[in-house]
Amino acid sequence: MSDCLFCKIVSGAIPAKPLYQDDTVLAFEDIQPQAPSHFLVIPREHLADQRGIDAGREALMGHLIRVASQVAADKGLSSFRTVINTGAQAGQTVFHLHVHVLGGRAMNWPPG
C-alpha cells in the first residue's frame, strides 16, 4: 500500500534498523522504544491488523511469533512482552500488522 509507513520500510523507501528478514517477514528496532529492548516484527504483505490473519495466513502468524522469539533470544532477553494493538482505541497508530516485543525492564500488569 503506497501510503503505508511500514510498507515503505518493507520496500526500503524509509530506512529502519533491521534485526532479521526473510521472504515473508521483517524485524526492526522501534523508533521510539518504550523499553530498553523494543522491536517490531511485521509481515511484508500489507495487512491492516491481526484481523487480516485469515485461515490461509495462520502459518504467517506463527512465523511472526517464532521470529519474535528468535530475535528476543538473539538479544539475550530471558523475559519479554509481546503486544499487538488492534484498532485506534487499543493504541494502534500504524495500520500495518506488527508485533511489538518489549524487554529489558520489569513490566506492569494490567497494561495501560
Contact 84, 100 (CB under 8 A): yes
d(CA 94, CA 23): 22
Q: Which amino acid is at 3?
A: D
Kind of pairing between the strands at 18-21 and 80-83: unpaired
Give the total residue count for the chain. Answer: 112
- Residue choice 1, 13, 31, 73 for contact with ligand AMP (CB under 6 A): 31
Q: Output 55 or 89, the one with its CB closest to ligand AMP.
A: 89
By CB under 6 A, tell whether 13 contacts ligand AMP.
Answer: no
Look at residue 7 and give the partner it binds from ligand AMP, Zn ion, none, a contact being a CB closer than 5 to 8 Å depending on partner kind: Zn ion
Residue 72's alpha-carbon distances to 32, 46, 75, in angstroms, are: 18, 24, 5
Q: Which of 46, 63, 96, 98 is catalytic?
A: 98
By CB under 6 A, tell whether 91 contacts ligand AMP.
Answer: yes
- Residue choice 76, 93, 109, 110 for contact with ligand AMP (CB under 6 A): 93
Active site residues: 98
The residues of the shown chain that bind ligand AMP, judged by CB under 6 A, are 5, 14, 16, 30-32, 85, 91-94
